[in-house]
Structure 1
Amino acid sequence: MRELTVQNLSKAAFAPFGVVIDAADAVPEMINDGTTRRHADLASLDIRGVPGDGDPRIHLYVASARRFPLRLANLERHRRASQVFVPLNGQRFIVVVAPGGPAPEWERIEAFLSAPGQAISLHRDCWHHGLIALQDGDRFAVIEGGSYRLDTQELAAPEEIMLVAPGLE
């Protein structure tokens, strides 16, 4: 059995897998008669697949809490579009990712714990685990390509991988 420990989500560490969407370092522009801070251009979207995929979609995910240690049975990827997860209550969540081509590089799998208010945009073709929420009822806006169901490829882990999250167990 292999043990994987969660690390804090940072822009530099997550860059090979996607973009951390976080306004912490952005200088806002004041709009709406000075009542709104606009933190512009925090990430771009790569959600147009091939002709016939349909328009990009916005979904609402309401998740159940995961319990740790958590057995990671598989990873998935979406080859034709990126996927964006935006926590709607500013809650933290865990994202598990791995580099790879036709299959994940299982020996390089990583797990990240977001800070409150951080969102992520996974690169197109990034191997990742399904949503890992920390509280029952955590809500996420998810933006993805129109061919999401047809474009999901899953592969089973070749060995048992247990995700540990000190302080969350």
Structure 2
Amino acid sequence: MKTLQMERLTRTAFAPFGDVIELDGARHFAINGGTTERYHDLAAVDVTEQGGRPLINLFRAQPRPLPVDITMMERHPLGSQAFIPLTARRYLVVVAPAGEFDPARMRAFWSDGWQGVNYAKGVWHHPLLALDEVSDFVVVDRGGEQPNCDELTLEEPWRLMFEAGAELSV
């Protein structure tokens, strides 16, 4: 079985695939008479191609057993897709660049919870990979008449590995 090394989710590392949605380092300012802190423009939502419109959804992800094997990927060719966790629960992100799928270009990231991700239009990604507990995410993506989800099954599974070859463990 092939393995894929996990990386910590950071803005710099994830930039080729979209945005990391987090408060650390975000532009922010006080609003509402100083009673609220606004963290501004956290992700580039891109959903209007071919008459698309934004959708706001809640996804409830079941925890995945460890170790995690990746057997499929998907992409949304007409719009971005943002996942914003509602609790500080660990989850995993597996991505590959937009275009023709190349398993050798897959990358895997782990988040300890308060970071969201916004997959850019056409970026290949694995569906939600929650760990530990049932986890809720607000999801902003594209609605419209055209199909907007391509799925593929990998020729062979990839096992996610964590910290210099050790299997991901709780």
- Do the structures match in fold with TM over 0.5? yes
What does the per-residue CA deviation read over 1:94-137, in whole Å, with 9 as the maximum and x for residues that have no partner?
Answer: 110012413x1101111101243111100000000000001332
Bigger helix fraction:
2
Over the matched positions of the two proteins, sequence identity in percent amounts to 37
Q: Which residue of 2 aligns with 1:45?
A: 45
Q: Do the aligned residues in 1 keep the contact of 2:14 with 2:20 (CA within 8 Å)?
A: yes
2:91 is the alignment partner of 1:93:
yes
SS of corresponding position for 2:33: coil
Q: Which residue of 2 aligns with 1:136?
A: 133
Q: Do the aligned residues in 2 keep the contact of 1:4 with 1:110 (CA within 8 Å)?
A: yes
RMSD: 1.8
Q: Which residue of 2 aligns with 1:161?
A: 158
Return the alpha-carbon distance in structure 2 between the equivalents of residues 125 and 148 of structure 1. 17
- Give every structure 1 segment of 4 or more consecutive aligned residues whose post-TM-superposition deviation is greater than 6 Å: none
Task: Point out where structure 1 has 5 or more consecutive residues left out of the alignment.
Answer: none
2:8 is the alignment partner of 1:8:
yes
Deviates more, 1:116-125 or 1:26-35: 26-35
What does the per-residue CA deviation read over 1:23-74, in whole Å, with 9 as the maximum and x for residues that have no partner?
Answer: 11135211112111111122221011313x4x32111111110112112111
1:118 to 115, 118, 123: 115
Deviates more, 1:26-35 or 1:79-88: 26-35
Alignment size in residue pairs:
166
Bigger strand fraction:
2
Return the alpha-carbon distance in structure 1 between the equivalents of residues 133 and 40 of structure 2. 31
